[in-house]
Amino acid sequence: MISKRLFRILTFGLLLIFSGNISAQYIITGRVTDASNGDPVPFANVALKGKNIGTATNFDGVFTLRTKVLSDSLFASFVGYKSRYKVITQSPGTQTINFQLESANRALEEVVVYSGENPAFRIIRGVIANREKNDRKRLTAYEYDSYSKMELDVDNISAKLREKKFMKKIDKAIEKFEKIAGEDGKPVIPTFISESISKFYYRESPQRKKELIEKTNVKGVGVHDGGFISQLVGGNLLANYNFYDNYVPFFGKDFTSPIGDNWKGNYKYFLSDTTEIDGHPCYEVEFDPKRVQDLVFTGKMWIDTTNFALVQIDASVGKGANLNFIEKIKIQQELERTSEGAWLPAKTRFLIDIEQITKNSAGMLLKMYISNRNFVVNQPKPLSFYDLASEIAEDAKEPDPNFWKAARFDSLSKQDLLASSLIDSVRNIPVVKTYVEVAEIVVSGYKRFRNFDIGPYINAIAFNKLEGMRLRLGFRTNPDFDKHWILRGFVGFGTNDLRAKYSGEIDYLFSKKRWTMAGFRHTYDVERIGLTQELIGDNKLFYAFTRWGNFSGAFYRRENEFFFTKEPTKGLSFTVALTHRSFDPLFRFQFRENPELGKDSPVKDNYDETFFTFETRFAKNETFIMNGNDRITLDTKRIPVITFRYQRGFKDVLGGNFDYHKFTLKAYQTFRLGTLGRSAYTLSLGYTPSTLPAPLLFPHLGNETFFYNRNAFNTMKYFEFVSDKYASIQYNHSFEGLVFNRIPAIKKLKWRLVASANVLFGSQRKENVELMQEGKPRPFESRYLDRYGFDSLDPSVPFVEVGYGIDNIFKIFRVQAFHRLTYLDHDKATPFTVKASMHFQF
């Protein structure tokens, strides 16, 4: 029999034991990352196996799970990844368990609803109904402080590539990086890493944006200076995504938003859970594409249950989408509510994984992280403040690590620190430097030296009937030479005509903020009627190929030009120029000096012209970034770009032979046609009331090459038609994957259907026709080639051609057939032709 005292002692001891077990708490912490690149996986589910106990990772992939009971293992899961289980230590206290998740092909199962509709539909409708009060566009302006981090890596390194000599030199560093990525991580080689502190400003009406880069730290293989790159590393100009828009644009593509107006026709939805995000009770909604080939997302989003605002989103585009060279695209965004009710992006991650071009090469991985804070809303700046979209402070370059430790919004991970040290090792390897230089030449067309660049290489050599082998060497100075003075030019020589060609230009850049430049150029070269660079435009590849072959319609041209250009306000620019040109044709050409005398008129086979040019260009919301002493356009928000030009010719000024007036107006626009794809058109109008030789009128751009040219009439011959007044429209449409994505056997090829139509109305006045008729006979030198009639169009019958074809063949080729529908009885008309082109696109 146990005494009462002993019983009390045993009872007290048992209570202590049980109370200890009841109060014991297990804490599990860790981080969930992507096994392919080591990046965090935000919003992943982490839970005990067999228990209804779990949590979710934050935006940095970190989780903390507190529980009073355990199971044998912990698992992590997320949309688009394979679930992973790990064993738990069965002892009280804190333990750390990290997960590396591998990507998985996932198809969301259809949800069968026996009564009523899918409950997720009500939530999406609520988001759209409340879009106006939650979308940042309701704000008149906003600004914030921003920290951005960007990294560019080489990934998907093939086994054969790793056997290369230069790869073995950095093998030890790669092994270290693999360990940081995790036991299931894949090797990546960082080649560029940057971070920046900036202030971002946005104004809604009229739309303006500006990023002021205050501090940068840029380190990378092949990085010459921080000017151009530092404007990109700010991040907010490139990755300021807004899912409330119907389409989320990047890299020239439009991805349908899961909360846009076209949601129901493109996505499947599943209401998977309700959870709390930073104090906001949220619906957790999964979304999957109805057709994986379409430009749509897969992922999860968290919607506030009270105001239906988007709080967080994790959206991915997989390899199955109709994109080229893309393994994966991922956008993760966390939004914060402002004092006015609208939500702004607080944190954004963007990742694009570019696949291996060949099985024995490597891919590329671009990662960007942006953290924003200190939001200020509805306090717009003056319009002039936004003139320069990206601006870098004079003392922006800051390599001091102590500064960045205090300035970063978020501390660097071990992987970030190792990436920075690895770049120092990689960029000093000679063969790596060589590869980078070759890549730079391919992209820019120039070989860079200390103060100048040599190129472009596409114009370095050509073969044609007139010049034989044409050799050309060009150059331009870069900012290392001078930040205001710019020199450029070329020298060329033909082995047949034995004539030297040359050009020299000197420019002075007064202001980058309000783009202001003046200059003078002198050129002597051989050109072709209607195929000069000012008529062809920016299609440099097509212009280079026009210098090959028979070279019909050629003439020598000597040119002197003074010009001045200025952008007084954002989107509006003016250019004025005074030009003298000579025209010395290499084909049978003549015009009547006194047309009123008819055939008795003396004729002339060359001329000089002196003219003044005024040009204005309007491109609303166009954004530029600086590239040395040049600038590169980013976009015009799909608003028409309008160009007006007036030319005034002066007789007897600097030897000019004609007085004339000439007017042209052009509008170019690209726009989305909903689910049908993307269209682009060029509308052109031209008029001259003056009597002039045909080359000074409007020779319409034909195309006798095998290469497709968007700006040309592809079934028209060179110089076939000339007008003194005309109107034309050139319309091109890409259906993207709308048609071929729905054909089972073809959709894997990722072909894209394209169509086009070109219509031209034009005519010549009687005086201009008679001017080009023969006068008194005149002997022609043997060097002259064929004579061209420069025929007129019937003002009541337009020139019409239509085309159709397939783009994205083997990811780079476009083949398009064209039918000529009118003027089929014209001399040597081309009723049908096939053109091809090659271009790299996503």
Quote the pLDDT of residue 764: 94
Quote the CA–CA distance of 727 and 666 in Å, as a whole number. Answer: 10
Q: Report the alpha-carbon distance of residue 56 to residue 274 in Å, rounded.
A: 12
Q: What percent of the chain has pLDDT over 70?
A: 82
Same domain, 747 and 812: yes
pTM exceeds 0.85:
no
**C-beta separation of 580 from 656 below 8 A:** yes
294 within a domain of the structure (yes/no): yes
Nearest CA-CA partner of 79 in 294, 301, 244: 301
pLDDT higher at 491 or 102: 491
Looking at per-residue pLDDT, the higher value among 87 and 747 belongs to: 87
Report the CATH number that the domain containing residue 719 is assigned in CATH.
2.40.160
More confident residue, 831 or 112: 831
Question: Given 391, 414, 438, which residue is the final one in a domain?
Answer: 438
State residue 224's pLDDT score.
52
> From CA 235, how far away is CA 213, in angstroms rounded?
10
**Range 206-212 average pLDDT:** 84
Nearest to 203 by CA among 248, 139, 144, 131: 139
- Residues 43 and 133 placed together within one structural domain of the fold: no
Q: Are residues 156 and 254 in the same domain?
A: yes
| Residue that is last in its domain, among 60, 75, 101 | 101
Of these ranges, 150-159, 506-515, 634-643, 760-769, the one predicted with the greatest mean pLDDT is 760-769
Identify any residues that bridge with 749 across adjacent strands, giving them in sequence order: none
State how beta strands 26-34 and 99-101 pair.
Answer: parallel
Which residues, at least 6 apart from 173, have a Cβ–Cβ distance to it below 8 Å? 189, 422, 425, 426
Distance between CA atoms of residues 462 and 493, nearest Å: 11
Q: Residue 474: pLDDT band by 50, 70, 90 thresholds?
A: very high
- Average pLDDT (497-519) is 91
Q: Is the pLDDT of residue 191 over 80?
A: no
Task: Tell me whether residue 469 is in a domain.
Answer: no
What gap in Å lies between CA 94 and CA 97, rounded to an integer?
10
* 693 plus 731 within the same structural domain: yes
Question: Is residue 138 domain-shared with residue 164, that is, in the same domain?
Answer: yes
Whether the pLDDT of residue 226 is over 70: the answer is: no
Is 506 inside any structural domain?
Answer: no
Q: Quote the CA–CA distance of 706 and 617 in Å, as a whole number.
A: 32
d(CA 3, CA 758): 109
Examine the pLDDT at 219 and tell me if it is beyond 90: no
- Better-predicted residue by pLDDT, 214 or 838: 214
> Measured between alpha carbons, how far is 231 from 176 in angstroms, rounded to an integer?
31
Pick from 495-509, 633-647, 727-741, 807-821: least confident: 633-647
User: How large is the average pLDDT for residues 730-739?
Assistant: 88
Q: Which residue has the higher pLDDT, 499 or 104?
A: 499
pLDDT, mean of residues 590-600: 83
pLDDT band for position 230 (cuts 50, 70, 90) = very low
Q: For residue 679, what are the contacts with CB-CB under 8 A and spacing of at least 6?
A: 670, 671, 672, 673, 731, 732, 733, 734
Which letter does DSSP use for residue 549 in this model? B
Cα 656 to chain center, whole Å? 44
Q: What is the pLDDT of residue 18?
A: 44
- Res 69 pLDDT > 60: yes
| Residue-range definition of the domain harbouring residue 640 | 554-838
Cα(492)–Cα(495) distance, integer angstroms: 10
Secondary structure class of 171 (helix, strand, coil) = helix
Residue-averaged pLDDT of the chain: 82
Q: What is the pLDDT of residue 184?
A: 44
Would the pLDDT of 443 be above 90?
A: no
**Same domain flag for 354 and 261:** yes
Q: Would residue 446 count as lying in a domain?
A: no
Task: State how far the Cα of 234 lies from the Cα of 368, in Å rounded to an integer.
Answer: 10
**Run of H or E including 22:** helix 4-23
CA distance 623 to 237: 9
User: Is the predicted pLDDT of residue 234 greater than 80, yes or no?
Assistant: no
**pLDDT value of residue 79:** 73
In this structure, the answer to whether residues 203 and 70 fall within a common structural domain is: no
- Separation CA 139–CA 339 (nearest Å): 11
Whether residue 529 has pLDDT greater than 90: no
Judgement on whether residues 95 and 145 belong to the same structural domain of the protein = no
Could you tell me if residue 18 is inside a domain?
yes
Whether 809 is covered by a domain: the verdict is yes
Q: For residues 17 and 563, which has the higher predicted lDDT (pLDDT)?
A: 563
Check pLDDT > 60 for residue 161: yes
Mean pLDDT is lowest, of 407-416, 594-603, 621-630, 832-841, for 621-630
Boundary of a domain, candidates 420, 438, 456: 438
Q: What is the pLDDT of residue 27?
A: 87
Q: Transcribe 198-232 into DSSP letters.
A: EEEEEETTTTEEEEEEEEEEEEETT---SHHHHHH
Alpha helices in 380-513 (DSSP H): 401-407, 414-426, 430-444
Question: Does residue 653 carry a pLDDT above 70?
Answer: yes
Q: Say which residue, 631 or 207, is predicted with more confidence.
A: 207
Per-residue pLDDT at 714 exceeds 60? yes
The reply to whether 663 falls in a domain is: yes
User: Picking from 386-395, 521-530, 752-761, which range would have the lowest pLDDT averaged per residue?
Assistant: 386-395
277 and 143 within one domain:
yes
Q: What is the CATH number of the domain that holds 96?
A: 2.60.40.1120
Between β-strands 45-48 and 54-56, what pairing exists: parallel, antiparallel or unpaired?
A: antiparallel
Per residue in 660-693, pLDDT tens? 999 999 999 988 887 788 899 999 999 999 999 9
Q: Return the pLDDT at 495.
A: 93
What's the pLDDT tens digit per position in 385-437? 887 777 777 777 878 888 888 888 877 776 777 777 777 666 666 656 666 66
358 in a structural domain:
yes
pLDDT at 470 over 90: yes
- As beta bridge partners, residue 301 has 285, 313
How far is it, in rounded angstroms, from Cα 385 to Cα 208? 9
The per-residue pLDDT for 17 is 43
pLDDT tens-place string over residues 290-315: 888 888 999 999 999 999 999 999 99
pLDDT score for 592: 85
Is the same domain home to 97 and 216?
no
Least confidently predicted of 15-29, 80-94, 384-398, 461-475: 15-29
Question: Is a pLDDT exceeding 70 seen at residue 496?
Answer: yes
| pLDDT tens figures, 319-363 | 778 777 788 888 999 999 999 999 999 999 888 887 776 666 677
Q: What percent of the chain has pLDDT over 90?
A: 35
SS3 144: strand
pLDDT grade, residue 593 (50/70/90)? confident
Better pLDDT: 630 or 95:
95
Q: What is the pLDDT of residue 502?
A: 96
**How many independent structural domains does the chain possess?**
3
pLDDT at site 457? 86
Q: Which pLDDT value is given to residue 783?
A: 44
Over residues 805-828, the pLDDT tens digits come to 998 888 788 899 999 999 999 877
Q: What is the pLDDT of residue 64?
A: 86
Say if residue 651's pLDDT is above 60: yes
Rounded mean pLDDT, 202-220: 84
Same domain flag for 97 and 130: no
Report the candidate in 662, 684, 681 with the shortest Cα–Cα distance to residue 728. 684
Residue 272, C-beta contacts closer than 8 angstroms, at least 6 positions apart: 284, 285, 286, 300
Q: What is the structure's pLDDT at 429?
A: 63
**Amino acid 664: pLDDT:** 96
Based on the fold, state whether residues 84 and 176 are members of the same structural domain.
no
